[in-house]
Structure 1
């Protein structure tokens, strides 16, 4: 990466060398159509189903509950819109939060225009909902609750098991956007009582344009798109077998054992970053907090008095890559809706915060270098 220090892994992560090798081998040797009955088709089908098994096991799901998609956006849209359309005769009420990803918020906005009612739960300054608010919001006509596991901008970690236990006895299905969580925190869909779950491979050192939707056995709605009978008639289109094989390899790299090891490393990265900046006299605060109810790989920091666009530009020129918020809205001049939900639209944090996010490629030496670079830039800007 041209000797730059890359810490925008929540936006996308570099593909692991093992993933690249797996995909290259598949593109060379497994070029058949997995729906074909000839030799090459059977080989493609074998790789497809082996990959599906690896991925299903990673969240304690059954193989038939995994539907391969083009990524988190398609998975979110499918789960939310198709649930609403399939269950509208049972009710038109949906519950979510104010700081979901746009791949959740925009489908919900479309459904509102179609006559559905959405309750958006408030978020506190640690990026958490009040579970009593959720309990009180659920009604007999509530058909879906959609709440993300890990927020992509600040890294807050939702109490997903508790949420699942609240939703399970009701008429609603429970969907969670796990794009930022999958491969970084342990997920057990049965223990957490999750009905629908969305992921994307490129957040965990896998390829882009591949993800999956977990659809609990017993959940039934029509496919989001129309076409062939791939993915057990649930998602048409010829499967991208090399990308799926690469996804499975990335999942193997991010095993539960690796998740625990990375958690310790990443929290150390956070403390080194924050403690180093404070020691150097930089006036900062963490948005949310460092560890309590937070995912290990994401941290959002308020750099008091310095606009995030100015700081980002100077960092980029110095060879450090961070982010001001979600990569999906990074071209926008609007403030972060996540920080507005947490602190209010008048808080300076919404214009003065940066996100740093780590992957298996990062080192403690890089973190220390970022501390030094930030210190020099901020002291120069403050003159």
Structure 2
């Protein structure tokens, strides 16, 4: 203020403005105007980017993997149910999966639109990835195609017609393994039930349908930087009771990243990983993830609940399909957010599809 009064006394009125701006020129230049930086949104907060159901349906059309021989296969996004969005599900499962700005769309609601755009009679859901995983989902365009898909599925040895990829929060002790296991529902004293994996069971228990047999193979595809986690491939004969998650957690002691349902079934106690009682209160706690791993994912421990469950249905095998008896292998490339996580964890030598040659996704050989 004192500088301005001095200038006013020593200059004519017409010169005051020019002199004032000269003194404060560095604050008046256009180059120094502040431009706010664009906010970076974490990929796990953009899992459901669609603004309308029509936009969602069109994105599914872009993810069509195969449309021939009465089969339509899509690469299903994470957190999207096949069934009607108004259908009630298991609330305990829903509470374990936090999707930021989750949409309430379902594939069932857009099937008529997809069928029309693909110029097929109808799309009948047959088999594929569950809601909280990404990957293949297979439809038949009529009842005959659905019957052929079911027959092809049953022909495959021990039912292992699917291959899943998963990212674990630890590195398994063995690089590969083959298991024949049993699964059953264990009851608590209060009547609650939780699935457990058995290494011993009776034939009569299987006959009474008290034990479900599980044949499962796995192998490590790659380990992350600093060996903090693994990308593994699994083949399983059944998917009941979230068998893949249960197997990874309680048999490999390497829970699947983002699995807040079975991820705490094993815990580190005094440097040793052990199984805990499935009805213990700690089983409902958020799984503990290595701090270095969280840093690579740019996630704070307080934000851990938004990490999606990293399971991807990679392959589906249809043996001796249709009148031509073709062996059809459907293969789905990694999609968001699974692919982003792989890049962050720096997995090496991942066998991936060539996006420039989408026709190579499906390999068909004569039976």
TM bin, normalised by shorter chain, reads under 0.3
The structure richer in strand per residue is 2
Q: Which has the higher contact order (CA 8 A, sep 6+)?
A: 1
The structure richer in helix per residue is 1
TM-score (norm 1): 0.21
